[in-house]
Chain A
């Protein structure tokens, strides 16, 4: 049967040979192309135009990009904040999720489900991050200030939400707290998917402790989940704009938490400069694609 298929493949065109596969993919790809690929491509084309939504877009070449890179004085700041947040919260969230998923895997199914839910709670309850408004509250009644003053670490309340010295740190804590999301769940499921006989074989082969077991057995067999989580970490850590706006307001004081997402939402939703907003979105997209490329290369090396 296999031979026959091989023989046939020389003559029949691929579309016939793999017709069942293409047929399987067709429904999803149709929806995906219409509602995801098409809008993204159109948005990228917008970035070469001046487009105010009222009038039709007019082609202006690379002007939006020149404006962004050379003239816009807020762009370097937004870029710096975006990268700083992403570099800390991306890997931070990724490794915290991995550590937690690994530890949770040690427990029986029921305990694991309960503990997973408690840790996933910030993501499960949509607007739960608003609680940080109370924790960070600037008067001495704020949770954090209250505790620190009682412990004698500080003497007067710190303005966590408005003092630009502390805003970056406090935002990073919130984002890390939110980082046990879809990537975390996929890791939990991934640990369950590891072939159990491998552990028994490894014990015979002289794997001494759980750390060796993790590095040599578990992680290499769940590379696909690691890659998925890495992509989720990238999209989350670069796209945190809404949560920052909800807690720190827009614009955040001194623009201390002004990111590329804020910049493009500002131009897209408020000023209706769609062409310029699209250029910012495209730049942000390219940064994320590059970091994804780099991270996927790193993950391929796991366990070697």
Chain B
């Protein structure tokens, strides 16, 4: 496998192979917790930390893992890391832990993490595996934050409310634009609509770029522009 530059790989993780937008992995936490920006940020950070550490550990132990039982071993590694993260959240961010609830332990079942262990970390050195965990985790976290901000804005009429759950201090109201909002955006259907909207926007940007490139270089088809 060739090793592309870090910038290229970052673009891949954030955009071309974004775990949430393109691979549609980890939808359960993505849809369930993004009712506000701070929830999205909290779960994004937790997932990012688990992904970096699990990619590193899987990569470090890849020579001793038997191929036949690799998935249970990945799950074991990821589960122990998630337990650490859960205890850290409980110790330092109790309010955020209560707000995210079951979805922090459920990071174990986030297929984005198992997928990166299987696809990347099990066949690459530690350094680039952890870098891969970082870019993929950031892609997922940014999507969580974007959808969280969008739904919070529509559903509550505010942005960055309750950031104190992460930063400490007095309860913060964030940027309040209006009181109350469109209830549907916070309810589960709002999550599906927001994600669909985000995917549609990404696809339309991609298509526009592809058309522009084809106009610039008429000889090269769409396969060359991947």
A and B interact? no
A interface residues, Cβ below 8 angstroms from B: none
B interface residues, Cβ below 8 angstroms from A: none
